[in-house]
Amino acid sequence: MSRAAIVCGLGAWVPPTVVTNHELAERLETSDEWIRTRTGIEQRHVIKPGEATSDLAVEAGRRALESARASGEDGVDVDLVVLATSTPDHPCPATAPDVAQRLGLVGVPAFDVAAVCTGFVYALAVAASMLTAGTARQALVIGADAFSTILDPHDRTTRAIFGDGAGAMVLRAGEADEPGALLGFDLGSDGTGAGMITVRAGGSRQRSTGTPASEGDQWFSMEGRAVFTEAVLNMSNSAQSLADQVGWSAAGADRVVAHQANVRILRAVGEQLGLSAEQIVINLDRVGNTVAGSIPLALADAVASGGIRPGHRVLLTGFGGGLTWGSAALMWPELTVTPPNAPTL
């Protein structure tokens, strides 16, 4: 039997501060109805002043490690940390080493992966490859973003969509016939669409000019209509391609956990893949778009609530800036998972 990476722990976290649509409507020219009808989002969680992405990642990682121990994993001994984020604590250094040491994982390799909303799937693929190659034995893979820190406070569209949060998985090396085995990946990118999802200022391109950033370029921007089309096309194609690769039909998956960008995108992906409403996991109404945290947050929510059960065939699929997209497939194992909004201990 071939080697594989096995999911043996799952955790997620959203900060306790909630911003409802009604609260946004008090500050911006918008309304609860406008936001809900266009996005399906009712509220989002945001970090407090002085907090950062690493704080979200540490709590999600801690919960994933607890999940692995509670689920009967003998000898949790993580020797690799991969953090997917587009909002690192600092431009330099990477945030993962700090997260690792705060979790007591000093000395292990730790690095960031930047693929925006596809980041978690990319990070899973990297970690799984290192486990199957024998470079590591156990890995902690985290997706975390504090997108509230890069949003224009006066832009009603982006402020309505995005929230802060994190999710994490513990993986171990094992065999492909074990429950929880990651059965395959489908990854892709198209740099011709880089300008669709971007923060134009702050990088080497703008800094090398020696001139200040243009007004508004320090904030996140997105071409909504073009992104909608690309997201539906690429998540649908990627999920279908991977399902074919592992010998499933996409419509035969018990649950599809797609990046939680917009409820209309999720429904359109469902239509393309022939899925029923029950097969599509949705939690963005309560947390918004949490970028790299989106897929593991939705997964943890569904597992904790009983929406995903042991033996379910699960497809993960994401789309993000770059442009990037990717999917992963697995048979869900028996895991103990704490709800993402449960208080910290």
- Give catalytic status of residue 262 as yes or no: no
Give the number of other Cβ atoms within 10 Å of residue 74's Cβ: 9
β-partners of residue 170 are: 9, 140
Catalytic residue (one of 234, 262, 283, 289): 289
The residue assigned the tokens 């999911």 is 7
Measured distance CA(300)–CA(142) in Å, rounded: 13
Measured distance CA(85)–CA(119) in Å, rounded: 7
Read off the amino acid at residue 77. Answer: D
- Give catalytic status of residue 289 as yes or no: yes
- Give catalytic status of residue 312 as yes or no: no
Measured distance CA(307)–CA(299) in Å, rounded: 9
Measured distance CA(207)–CA(150) in Å, rounded: 17
Strand duo 255-258 + 313-320: pairing: parallel
Tokens describing residue 282:
């949705």
* Chain mean position to CA 202: 23
Catalytic residue (one of 45, 259, 262, 283): 259
Strand duo 220-222 + 197-199: pairing: antiparallel
Catalytic residue (one of 8, 117, 262, 341): 117
What are the backbone dihedrals phi and psi of residue 127, each rounded to the nearest 5 degrees, phi first? -65, -40
CB 328 within 8 Å of CB 185: yes
Residues 6+ apart with CB under 8 A from 75: none
Active site residues: 117, 259, 289
